[in-house]
């Protein structure tokens, strides 16, 4: 595919973000992203239950084989990247990410599924990634790995423009989430546990899974919360390495493995043009930039079925807090989400 063809392909399908207010993402410090086959054992289920969102016209049934072909472009050509840019040779196609949080429920960003039309026009695909060292990205999947969006259970996308002292209006982002129901129960992937107790604080370690810029699955460790978490705020801010297609992706606690929030926004510019006529990724220092916004789960927790893993993790966390306070909790202490 030449650059002209790639540009037309991008404009029609996936490369041009349809949610400018959401912002693109960026690298902080060292690019920590790794492939699906490199995910540590502890986060294998997190990776396995992360899903990519596609426009339906990019998902084609092969009548001869009964399998699904994913219509993709080349990352380097689609974004006019310099050859040395990481992953430039890989395919791109997904436009958002999400996580399985119920037997037929996916959590994503509100700007990824904006209305019923978006719901009907979206296909959700598990397994789009590189599954073995030296292997190619899996762009043909079993039909059972592809699901439709049946309906929106709950969604919100809020931004408020306020003028201070008569100056230019400044936009303050609010909640950006969507919980959707799939067209059938998911087979072969387990729902992921969420943090129902809050308590995020500056310095907490974070993990991200998803599809940056529509690439095959990437695992991003070594993030942290970089700004204090205000109880009334809709989101907290991290230094995770993330991009446009990561929108809607789950962000996990590096300590408990529970989902802490949904990745929704980041720095405005991702690519930097060079004098050679191609672009490279912008790399910020680890402690500089706008940061990556992670939407809290509070507004949607009551609609997500509780899992046994959540109670166990919550009990462990509560015991740790008691220990710090010098308390001795009962040995049989439990935490209920009913």
Could you give the 3-state DSSP secondary structure of residue 169? Answer: strand
Write down the pTM of the prediction.
Answer: 0.81
Q: Are residues 180 and 290 in the same domain?
A: yes
283 and 322 share one domain: no
Tokens linked to 310: 């959540």
237 shares a domain with 192: yes
**DSSP secondary structure string for all residues of 295-321:** E-SGGGGGGSPP-HHHHHHHHHHHHHH
> For position 93, which CATH number holds?
2.40.10.120
pLDDT reported for residue 12: 42
Question: What's the total number of domains in the chain?
Answer: 2
Residues lower than pLDDT 70 in the chain: 1-30, 159-172, 267-270, 284-290, 311-338
pLDDT, tens digit, 9 for 90 and up, residues 292-303: 889 999 999 999
Nearest to residue 221, comparing CAs of 54, 23, 5, 39?
39
Query: Is the CB of residue 204 less than 8 Å from the CB of residue 225?
Result: yes
> Are 314 and 301 within one domain?
no
Tell me if residue 39 falls in helix, strand or coil: coil
- Asked if residues 241 and 33 have their Cβ atoms less than 8 Å apart, the reply is yes
145 & 59 share domain: yes
Is residue 203 located within the same domain as residue 332? no
Find out whether 26 and 267 touch, Cβ atoms under 8 Å.
yes
Residues 200 and 326 in one domain: no
pLDDT at 231: 79
Please give the pLDDT value at position 149: 98
Residues 68 and 93 in one domain: yes
Helix (H) or strand (E) holding 246: none
Number of H helices, E strands in the chain: 5, 22
Q: Within this chain, do residues 186 and 333 fall inside the same structural domain, yes or no?
A: no
Domain enclosing residue 223, as ranges:
3-305
Taking phi first (over 0 means left), then psi (-120 to 50 degrees means alpha), and beta for anything else, what does residue 158 get? beta
319 plus 251 within the same structural domain: no
- 226 with 331, same domain: the answer is no
Residues 111 and 226 in one domain: yes
pLDDT of residue 296: 95
Partners of 219 in beta bridges = 34, 209
């Amino acid at each position: 595919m030449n650059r002209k063809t790639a540009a037309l392909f991008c404009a029609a399908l996936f490369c041009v973000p349809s949610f400018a207010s959401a912002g693109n993402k960026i690298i902080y410090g060292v690019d920590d992203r790794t492939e699906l086959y490199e995910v540590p054992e502890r986060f294998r289920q997190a990776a396995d239950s992360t899903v990519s969102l596609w426009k339906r016209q990019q998902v084609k049934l092969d009548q001869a084989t009964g399998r699904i072909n994913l219509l993709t472009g080349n990352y380097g050509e689609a974004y006019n990247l310099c050859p040395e840019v990481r992953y430039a040779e890989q395919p791109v196609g997904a436009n958002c990410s999400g996580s399985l949080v119920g037997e037929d429920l996916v959590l994503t960003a509100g700007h990824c599924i904006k209305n019923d039309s978006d719901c009907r026009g979206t296909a959700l695909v598990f397994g789009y990634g590189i599954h073995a060292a030296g292997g190619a990205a899996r762009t043909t999947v079993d039909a059972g790995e592809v699901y439709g969006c049946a309906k929106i259970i709950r969604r919100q996308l809020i931004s408020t423009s306020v003028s201070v002292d008569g100056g230019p209006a400044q936009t303050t982002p609010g909640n950006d989430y969507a919980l959707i129901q799939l067209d059938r129960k998911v087979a072969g992937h387990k729902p992921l546990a969420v943090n129902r107790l809050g308590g995020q604080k500056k310095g907490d370690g974070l993990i991200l899974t998803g599809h940056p810029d529509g690439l095959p699955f990437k695992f991003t460790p070594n993030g942290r919360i970089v700004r204090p978490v205000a109880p009334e705020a809709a989101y907290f801010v991290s230094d995770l390495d993330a991009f446009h297609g990561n929108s809607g992706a789950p962000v996990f606690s590096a300590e408990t493995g529970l989902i802490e929030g949904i990745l929704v926004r980041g720095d405005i510019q991702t690519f930097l043009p060079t004098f050679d006529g191609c672009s490279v990724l912008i790399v910020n220092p680890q402690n500089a930039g706008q940061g990556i916004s992670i939407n809290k789960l509070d507004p949607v927790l009551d609609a997500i079925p509780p899992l046994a893993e959540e109670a166990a993790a919550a009990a462990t966390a509560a015991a740790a807090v008691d220990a710090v306070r010098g308390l001795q909790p009962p040995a049989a202490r439990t935490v209920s989400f009913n």
